[in-house]
Structure 1
């Protein structure tokens, strides 16, 4: 059942107070608001586990997410970095549901305070964030006429830049950045803006290949370099 405005405000304030009281690197376990949210999360995870369809799971996560907004907002506003599995899980759900800006807002807090992944994940938080966004971008780009927000990719790169992860995972993010920039270019209309995007694409794809030779960016890099060379020849 959806919270009333008054209930949401009360929950947000309670979460902020309890998060501020929990010391960095401590656990939120024992905090009343946290325990209530964990109980709700367990119930919702059970509902998700009863679904076999990934598409239906994503739709259910999107439906459930608003219920956690007051608590998460409260933690993000005043939290000091205590381990919080609710916040980490909702970060993942937002990314799964396609709310990348919202997921990265939480990721900023999670990474800044070095929160750990919830049980069942072997990858680090930085790796999960980089791969989740990169895979979503690459999937979108594979669709005919598909696009992805380059600002989300750049924000993801900046957020995860200093965090350890396998080179293959970081390469995937650079491939997504490169492909997104390249796909934004109309090869029949190469102006200064197009050249800027081609430069971004070239740099990102070259970095991806440097990190992981089999990243899948070589064909695109060849096409980018060919287009840059062609335009340079035409300009001269």
Structure 2
């Protein structure tokens, strides 16, 4: 029963009950479950520090995430919102490891309850989410790889109103706009609504950070929109 479904279920239930008992307190630090996870986290972070390769670190995080899943699922299910450095760290690990859907699920909980990031992070949780997703998307787009537009839109919605440097917000906007434009061409442009969304994102990105790199994208998007509107007027 080293890591059986039954054991994982018991771990999840124990974490949920512990979170419920600690309702109203600042941390779950008084619970056995939280202390065990902190010890595990300390051990695993020491392993990660021994690795220099970013890709290798991400691969190790993918392998480590299931260890924390029952605890994190239990805490989120209890929905008490006590500051929990395990949950906020695992949220970041999910994003680092490319597990974006899982990471954004945790981000929804972290942001809703205002959970802090670990002390070594100067960024707020909202900034972390926007920056990790924006940078990952832009890097993928540079190599021609696909990046799920749903992830970008969800990240934007979750972090709307969160305080962060303007450059971070601009990158996220730029990434979504470029993702939309990648599916449209001069011969087969996007529909007017999608093109308008891309243009709005680009204009806002440029307004926030003039050197974000979106000016040529904006010119192309406006050209494509004129083509769409011209085709519609000919019908």
Distance 1:166 1:228 in 2: 30
Whether the aligned pair in 2 keeps the contact of 1:94 and 1:103 (CA below 8 Å) is yes
Say whether 1:59 aligns with 2:56: no
Shift of 1:24: 4.0
C-alpha RMSD over aligned residues? 1.5
Runs of 5+ in structure 1 lacking a partner? none
TM-score when normalising by structure 1:
0.94
Deviations 1:79-129 (A, max 9, x none): 311111110111001001111110000000000110001121111110110
Runs of 5+ in structure 2 lacking a partner? none
Distance 1:235 1:109 in 2: 44
Shift of 1:213: 1.2
Whether the aligned pair in 2 keeps the contact of 1:184 and 1:197 (CA below 8 Å) is no
Correspondence for 1:194 among 183, 191, 194: 191
Counterpart of 2:162 in structure 1 is 163
TM-score when normalising by structure 2:
0.95
Correspondence for 1:209 among 201, 206, 222: 206
Deviations 1:19-69 (A, max 9, x none): 112234611112100111111111111110111111110000001111111
Distance 1:24 1:139 in 2: 41
Question: For 1:1-236, what aligned pairs fall within 5 Å after superposition?
Answer: 3-24=3-24, 26-144=26-144, 146-190=145-189, 193-236=190-233
Distance 1:2 1:174 in 2: 44
Number of positions where the alignment pairs a residue of Structure 1 with one of Structure 2: 233
